[in-house]
Structures are given as C-alpha cells and as structure tokens.
C-alpha cells in the first residue's frame, strides 16, 4: 500500500459501478468489446449453486461514461430477461 500511495497519485477520483448477472461471461462478450478504452473494466466469472454467473465492474473518471457503459449491459440483460443485482 505504501508503495502504491508514494508512486501513484490518488488525486484522480474515479466512479465505479458493479453488478452480478445470472449468466455466463461469454453471453456479454459482445458488449465488453464495445466499451471505451479509457474505462477500467473487470469481469469475474463464477458458479453459484452450479449455475454460471459473472460479476462486472466498470470504473472511470467520467461518471457519465461509466453509467452509459453500465446501461449497455442493463439494457441487454433486461431485454433478454436475465436477472442481475447491482452491487455497492
């Protein structure tokens, strides 16, 4: 932690949103490929009760860009009746 705080500035605030979707990571690849390269993106595939799930996290300096990117996923999930939970 000390090395990170000394060498990297923490003055740049980032905005982050995350969610857990009841689907496989592969289902969302086409959306992942559309994301702006300035965003920090991560996906964590997992199995819960034997079923595929994926946790998606998007962060960036622009809150508007993060929200726009999250809405791409939400729209797809809603349209395809895939359950998801927003995380804090």
| Angstrom distance (rounded) from CA 26 to CA 43 | 11
CA 39 to chain centre: 10
88 versus 83: which is more confidently predicted?
Answer: 83
Residue 10 vs residues 1, 23, 60, 64: alpha-carbon distances, Å: 12, 34, 13, 20
User: What's the predicted TM-score (pTM) here?
Assistant: 0.82
Backbone angles phi, psi at 31, to 5 degrees: -80, -40
CA–CA gap between residue 64 and residue 16 (Å, rounded): 11
Quote the pLDDT of residue 88: 81
């Amino acid at each position: 932690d000390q090395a990170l705080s000394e060498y990297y500035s923490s003055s740049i605030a980032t905005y982050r949103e995350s969610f857990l979707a009841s689907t496989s990571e592969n289902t969302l690849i086409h959306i992942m490929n559309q994301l702006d390269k300035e965003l920090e993106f991560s996906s964590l595939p997992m199995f819960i009760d034997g079923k595929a799930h994926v946790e998606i996290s998007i962060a960036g300096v622009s809150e508007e860009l993060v929200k726009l990117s999250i809405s791409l996923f939400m729209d797809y999930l809603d349209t395809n009746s895939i359950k998801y939970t927003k995380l804090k």
